[in-house]
């Protein structure tokens, strides 16, 4: 006869088998191939989520410290909500990168509540210090007011705006120094009322970092030269005094910004209301010296130097073409201009009309960029897949 010990062991094994069978039918009532495939797909997605958490902010390894940077006022809430909703729908619901909101005044509770409710990502709110949004001591404010009046009489856009000048100076040389951004490496600038037309299913920031890209753009155009009459001469003076900082030679972006062998600035710049860039580049000694040189010259207030030409000249002076990336796959509009991908393989993810694409308009500087800097700056499908596939969320 079987001993009690062996009987007990047999009962335990039988009970264990019954439990496993019950669990199996509870969790997987359908044991068909289709049901099993669905289960493994769910399991695979769980593993993928764990993988993605290691490259997002807050992950334990390989993380990119990146954020959306939003300069806005309380009365721009509707426009900001629209932009965030699109950003979440098109990109960030997959990656949950944080938002940093900056304002020269205190944000209202309503602004904070409404914007934070649109995302699962962290949101941070900061006030801009007077040292970053005000007149430096060397500026003659009486002369600055006279200059604004003259530009208003000349019907120059934003010619009479004092706050616009503070904004341009802040975006040119201070936003990346704000305490809320001190721990970040990359930023994506987001503005009120902008539109995003294309689904982006790969980690843009990780792709930028791993490939050594320090500046990303979608739209380029020429500046209103009446707003920057002495920006070029001031830049040339800086170059003459700091030749060792400039990236000279064939592997340079300098030919993009002048059409007449350095006599004049052709006005070409990246439209900075969209930019994805390296904060470390903006904090670099070279760019810092350049901004401080421009700031001392006073052109942000005596003229109307914009952050777009300042950033762009900085990129052209200090970076290499392989450190600059054209985001052809990000359909984007800031009134009145739009970048819309025209390639079929990208259009399948976009809702914009390629007939309204601004890229090759005479006012655009993309043709100069192609002919003088990089004939292949618009990636073909093969290169696009090679560059983005490692960062696509279905790449597990």
Q: Which residues are catalytic?
A: 275
| 98 touches 131 (CB < 8 A) | no
User: Tokens 């005000």 — which residue?
Assistant: 134
| 203 touches 95 (CB < 8 A) | yes
To which H or E segment does residue 86 belong?
helix 77-87
Distance CA 396, CA 388 (A): 13
Q: Which two tokens stand for residue 198?
A: 């294309």
User: Strand pairing of 99-103 and 66-71?
Assistant: parallel
Distance CA 87, CA 242 (A): 40
* C-alpha dihedral, 351 to 355 to 358 to 363, nearest 10°: -170
Angle at Cα 385 formed by Cα 382 and Cα 389, nearest 5°? 155
Q: How far is CA 346 from the centre of its chain?
A: 19
Question: Which spans in the chain are helix H?
Answer: 4-27, 33-53, 77-87, 109-116, 141-153, 162-173, 204-211, 231-241, 279-282, 285-297, 299-302, 307-318, 344-347, 366-372, 381-388
* C-alpha dihedral, 99 to 391 to 383 to 338, nearest 10°: -20
Q: Which two tokens stand for residue 246?
A: 């400039």
> How does DSSP assign 275-305, residue by residue?
-EEEHHHHTSHHHHHHHHHHHHHTHHHHS--
Q: Which two tokens stand for residue 18?
A: 């019954």
User: Tokens 């704000």 — which residue?
Assistant: 178
* C-alpha dihedral, 104 to 195 to 189 to 173, nearest 10°: -60
Exposed (0-12), middle (13-18) or buried (19+): which is 373, by Cβ within 10 Å? middle
């Amino acid at each position: 006869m079987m001993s009690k010990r062996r009987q007990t062991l047999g009962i335990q094994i039988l009970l264990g088998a019954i439990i496993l069978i019950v669990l199996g039918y509870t969790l997987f009532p359908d044991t068909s191939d289709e049901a099993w495939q669905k289960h493994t797909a769910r399991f695979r997605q769980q593993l993928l989520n764990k993988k993605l958490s290691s490259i997002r902010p807050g992950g334990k390894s390989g993380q990119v410290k990146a954020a959306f940077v939003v300069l806005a006022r309380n009365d721009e809430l509707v426009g900001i909500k629209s932009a965030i909703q699109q950003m979440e729908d098109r990109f960030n619901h997959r990656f949950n990168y944080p938002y940093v909101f900056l304002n020269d005044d205190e944000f209202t509770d309503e602004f904070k509540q409404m914007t934070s409710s649109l995302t699962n990502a962290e949101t941070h709110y900061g006030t801009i210090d007077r040292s970053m949004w005000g007149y430096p001591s060397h500026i003659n404010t009486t002369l600055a007011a006279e200059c604004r009046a003259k530009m208003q009489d000349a019907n120059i856009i934003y010619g009479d705006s004092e706050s616009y000048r503070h904004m341009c100076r802040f975006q040119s040389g201070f936003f990346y120094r704000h305490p809320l951004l001190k721990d970040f490496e990359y930023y994506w600038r987001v503005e009120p009322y902008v539109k995003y037309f294309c689904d982006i299913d790969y980690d843009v920031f990780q792709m930028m970092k791993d490939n050594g890209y320090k500046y990303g753009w979608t739209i380029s155009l020429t500046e209103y030269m009446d707003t920057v009459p002495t920006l070029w001469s001031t830049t040339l003076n800086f170059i003459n005094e700091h030749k060792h900082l400039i990236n000279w030679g064939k592997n340079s972006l300098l030919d993009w910004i002048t059409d007449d062998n350095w006599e004049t600035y052709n006005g070409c710049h990246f439209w900075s209301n969209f930019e994805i860039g390296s904060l470390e580049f903006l904090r670099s000694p070279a760019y810092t010296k350049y901004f401080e040189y421009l700031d001392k010259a006073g052109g942000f207030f005596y003229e109307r130097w914009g952050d777009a030409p300042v950033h762009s000249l900085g990129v052209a002076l200090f970076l290499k073409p392989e450190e600059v990336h054209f985001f052809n796959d990000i359909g984007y509009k800031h009134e009145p201009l739009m970048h819309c991908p025209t390639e079929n393989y990208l259009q399948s993810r976009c809702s914009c009309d390629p007939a309204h694409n601004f890229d090759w308009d005479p006012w655009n500087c993309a043709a100069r960029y192609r002919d003088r800097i990089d004939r292949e700056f618009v990636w073909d499908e093969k290169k696009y897949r090679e560059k983005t596939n490692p960062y696509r969320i279905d790449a597990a």
